[in-house]
Structure 1
Amino acid sequence: MFLNHTITALTGMTSPLFPSPLLATVEAENSPIVLTGVLLSLVIIYLASKIGAEIAKRLDFPPVLGELVAGVIVGVSALHLIIFPESGLSASDSVVMTILEWINHLSPAAATSIFESQSEVISVLAELGVIILLFEIGLESDLRQLKEVGYQATIVACVGVAVPFAAGTVGLMTLFHVPAIPAIFAGAALTATSIGITSKVLSELGQLKSKEGQIIVGAAVIDDVLGIIVLAVVASLAKTGEIDVTNVIYLIVSATAFLIGSILLGGIFNKTFERIVNQLKTRGNIVIPAFIFAYFMAFLGNAIHLEAILGAFAAGLVLDESDARNELDELVKPVADLVVPIFFVTVGARADLGVLNPTVPENRAGLSIAVFLMVVAIVGKIVTGWSVFGQPGINRLAIGVGMIPRGEVGLVFAGIGSASGVLSKPLEVSIIIMVILTTFLAPPFLRLAFGEPVEPPSTGEPAREQPVLGGESQPTP
């Protein structure tokens, strides 16, 4: 791929099979510079993610939001430190490329080739990050808890997926004349719920063990499962560029069957995994087999025309039931800490907030879309509280508000939609703004819905720690 970029840049022609020796030599000479650009980009990404996460943490916001905002600052919207060719910018717009040109005295053609190649490497690392992110989310989604929360949480989750998805998709198509596939993608982004953020606030309020808290957490877990299936379907639709009812049915059935089949066969997978782990005596005896399984499941997801992330999520759900689960959780964290921030920062870096500048008349439609998505995102989740029945005196408003924050799962939708090219810039930025605002607004709204904070109830046993993306752990029921 790097060679193809060089050929295209230098000759205007693509010749992947028979490159000339001269062009091969030029590419070989540029390879160390590509690596230099990647390393400098990673330095910027890691600095931005850590500074952003620390600031967010000190302000009592989820660290993942700090990483996203930091990405916006270093990206196309502000500093131009991390930018990508698909945004319409060139090598001369990149601060990293300006530094490389100054150090290496590059020609414009060579700079363009290097810019495209190092951007592609960062994009691949970001995609690897989202695969590991979904593997980690799968490990956090306790199947035992899913089985215990009952039908009430299932109903809340289904309403919380169906209402915002339908309202968002239909509204974008009828009110804003957005094409069907981008509208479906944006509607799907409205379905997510962040279990980590909600659990954190419920724990602080001492409501994690309450009826409302149990329903919210259980529904959020089911929401994630349903959301990943929806994401696999809409991302596959984005690849074909058209809506074929037969294909949609195939995708829904195959995604559901793939996930349920993986869970049902989990006992066999787990026994095999545990036997392998017990036989290995060198470093990485747990984490390496786990990632082999996760990557293989991701490969299978792609092979049946779904998404790699669905396979990674299924692998996490399966290994969550293994005896090595607690140790695996701890071993996956450092790996996720290395690659997941690349995904979040690049999502923010790709978002051009300039398309929502109200002083530019062409941008006002994008602002209207952002407002519309925010209204649907909030109302579409609040109504879930009124889907609970047979529970007299239950705080329905609190249940609805607890489902509002989109968090990291919403960003996965935005990131994949951006990478697929299916989202326009205004629509992509509107989704990111919706994710940011719902995540910021949910904690204070949830506190208001429950009233004054109360002391956490004593259960007589230590709470199990659940990792929350962004560097903190929360107790779960």
Structure 2
Amino acid sequence: MSFLTLSQTASAVLAETPKAEYGSFVLTSVLMTLVIIYAMSKLGGELSKRLNLPPVLGELVGGVVVGVSALHLLVFPEAGATAADSLLMTVLQWLGNLDAAAVTHIFQSQSEVVSVLAELGVIVLLFEIGLESDLRELTKVGSQAAVVAIVGVTLPFALGAVGLIALFHVPTIPAIFAGAALTATSIGITSKVLSELGHLKSTEGQIIVGAAVIDDVLGIIVLAVVASLAKTGEVDLLNVVYLIASASGFLLGAILLGKFFNQSFEVITEKLQTRGALLIPAFAFALAMAFLANIIHLEAILGAFAAGLVLDETDKRKELDQQIMPIADILVPIFFVTVGAKADLGVLNPAIAENREGLIIASFLIVVAIIGKIVTGWAVFGKPGVNRLAIGIGMIPRGEVGLVFAGIGSASGVLSKPLEAAIIVMVILTTFLAPPMLQWALKDQATDAVVELSVGD
């Protein structure tokens, strides 16, 4: 039987599949998507490594190649894409002889599955980062991290909002929203680069991670404020107070939890005799903490990070760290590739007239975004010899957090098209510039850090 005959027979059989059985096509599309994601993550990561750049940058670029900016193999409806925009869906429609309604259903379901897997990826990443961090060392730099985070939120916000109003005559509420987008820091991207450089446990690494966690909490509060402004023109003070209290209580509670939870955890794992006796309880604990954070309107990644910090204090931390790595290797690339895939580089094209105003505003936002975070390194006190430039650069990437701000602003109708494009450009460039800049800033220290870690282990 020829390939053409086999294809025609398969298409005829698939065409008779009732709509209730679209689940098999959803699975097929998800499997095809994962193959593409893993191929691009490894290809991009390996090329980036050979160019002496952080592998995570290659994964982001790989996502751009297969995403909305190039091949359209991985696109998402929340970014405005439809099934017709997805080359993958076009191929599936041809293979299955599906109608437009069926393809739309499959596209939406597939996108939801991949997005959930990406969320699980960043949860696993932050759990792993928590395990690799040292709670005692993190506590020592807590005050410095808090100052860095506060400066890193207030300075870009003030410069961005005031600058947009004064220089570009942007209305107050859109300017405030854009300023809020400048406050974000992607802890996932920065922590991944620090981990790859073997610099996560250094003073600089601990300050950056601690500041990024606090920055994330502050970002959620800022987002709640600007979202209230966008909807009603007023700030819901009760909601803001609730967020501050719940965030503080959650993080402090997680730290205190570790003092008595660790012994119970070790007793439980020692009594279990089946496969996964250590990994499954630990992973379940991380997911439970992520759930608790999410349910009180915090980021799930904060819960996962707190779970990692708690379990870092157990005697089984090194063994658990080794066991979580394969899970991270499978899920984390999905997150980084999808971040790259959602980055629409089309907004960078000056040949399109409607992009030009956005690019001018974006130039201003990029300068504020970089300077507003770099100066945070000089807010560190009581730490002579610390690499202040590296700390500031580590706070630069906006990543998925910045895209969330842009998405909410767009959905609320607050942002004009040029201002929305400017925010997206700022997010894209800070996300892609930060990894090589951080590697450069830590170049002389990275080798020493790896040696110290090796000796310590």
TM-score normalised by length of structure 1:
0.78
Q: Does 1:30 align with 2:5?
A: no
Q: Does 1:123 align with 2:123?
A: no
Q: How does 1:413-452 map to 2 (within 5 A)?
A: 413-414=401-402, 416-417=404-405, 424-444=420-440
Structure 1 counterpart SS, 2:350 = coil
The code of the aligned residue for 1:74 comes to V
Measured against aligned partners, the alpha-carbon deviations of 1:173-220 in whole angstroms (never above 9, x if no partner) come to 6655462674354122258682554577697xxxx99xxx73x23421
Q: Does 1:183 align with 2:178?
A: yes
Q: Which of 348, 354, 372 is 2:340 aligned to?
A: 348
Show structure 2 runs of 5+ residues with no match: 1-16, 412-419
Q: How does 1:38-187 map to 2 (within 5 A)?
A: 38-149=30-141, 155-156=147-148, 158-171=150-163, 175=168, 176-177=170-171, 179=174, 182-183=177-178, 185-187=180-182
Partners in 1 of 2:449 and 2:121 — Cα distance? Answer: 37
Q: How does 1:389-404 map to 2 (within 5 A)?
A: 398-404=387-393
Residue 388 and residue 348 in structure 1: after superposition, are their counterparts in 2 closer, same or farther (change >3 A)?
Answer: closer
Q: Tell whether the 8 Å contact from 1:377 to 1:438 is kept in structure 2 after alignment.
A: no
Shift of 1:116: 1.4
Partner of 1:259: 251
Structure 2 counterpart SS, 1:189 = coil
Q: Tell whether the 8 Å contact from 2:369 to 2:426 is kept in structure 1 after alignment.
A: no
Partners in 1 of 2:287 and 2:450 — Cα distance? Answer: 41
Q: Which of 203, 216, 241 is 1:228 aligned to?
A: 216
Q: Tell whether the 8 Å contact from 1:191 to 1:227 is kept in structure 2 after alignment.
A: no
Partners in 2 of 1:415 and 1:50 — Cα distance? Answer: 24
Show structure 1 runs of 5+ residues with no match: 1-24, 466-477
The code of the aligned residue for 2:183 comes to A
Shift of 1:387: 3.4
Structure 2 counterpart SS, 1:194 = helix
Q: Does 1:357 align with 2:349?
A: yes
Partner of 1:248: 240
Structure 1 counterpart SS, 2:53 = coil
Shift of 1:233: 3.1
Residue 68 and residue 141 in structure 1: after superposition, are their counterparts in 2 closer, same or farther (change >3 A)?
Answer: same
Partner of 1:15: none
Residue 446 and residue 165 in structure 1: after superposition, are their counterparts in 2 closer, same or farther (change >3 A)?
Answer: farther
Instruction: State the number of aligned residues.
Output: 425
TM-score normalised by length of structure 2:
0.81
Shift of 1:455: 8.4
Partners in 1 of 2:134 and 2:92 — Cα distance? Answer: 47
Measured against aligned partners, the alpha-carbon deviations of 1:71-127 in whole angstroms (never above 9, x if no partner) come to 111000000010112333322221111111111111122111111111111111112
Residue 401 and residue 85 in structure 1: after superposition, are their counterparts in 2 closer, same or farther (change >3 A)?
Answer: same
Residue 259 and residue 54 in structure 1: after superposition, are their counterparts in 2 closer, same or farther (change >3 A)?
Answer: same
Partner of 2:368: 376
Q: Tell whether the 8 Å contact from 2:185 to 2:215 is kept in structure 1 after alignment.
A: no
Shift of 1:134: 2.1
The code of the aligned residue for 2:184 comes to A
The code of the aligned residue for 1:223 comes to A
Shift of 1:29: 2.3
Q: Tell whether the 8 Å contact from 1:270 to 1:318 is kept in structure 2 after alignment.
A: yes
Q: Tell whether the 8 Å contact from 1:297 to 1:315 is kept in structure 2 after alignment.
A: yes
The code of the aligned residue for 2:350 comes to P
Q: Tell whether the 8 Å contact from 2:389 to 2:441 is kept in structure 1 after alignment.
A: no
Q: Tell whether the 8 Å contact from 2:279 to 2:324 is kept in structure 1 after alignment.
A: yes
Q: Tell whether the 8 Å contact from 2:198 to 2:450 is kept in structure 1 after alignment.
A: no
Partners in 2 of 1:270 and 1:366 — Cα distance? Answer: 52
Residue 418 and residue 56 in structure 1: after superposition, are their counterparts in 2 closer, same or farther (change >3 A)?
Answer: farther
The code of the aligned residue for 1:264 comes to L
Shift of 1:401: 4.2
The code of the aligned residue for 2:255 comes to I
Q: How does 1:288-367 map to 2 (within 5 A)?
A: 288-367=280-359
Partners in 2 of 1:33 and 1:191 — Cα distance? Answer: 34
Q: Which region of structure 1 is more displaced relative to structure 2, 157-166 or 218-227?
A: 157-166
Shift of 1:57: 1.1
Shift of 1:419: 6.8
The code of the aligned residue for 1:331 comes to Q
Residue 32 and residue 267 in structure 1: after superposition, are their counterparts in 2 closer, same or farther (change >3 A)?
Answer: same
The structure with the largest helix share of the pair is 2
Q: Tell whether the 8 Å contact from 1:238 to 1:420 is kept in structure 2 after alignment.
A: no
Q: How does 1:193-204 map to 2 (within 5 A)?
A: 194-195=190-191, 197=193
Q: Tell whether the 8 Å contact from 2:156 to 2:179 is kept in structure 1 after alignment.
A: no
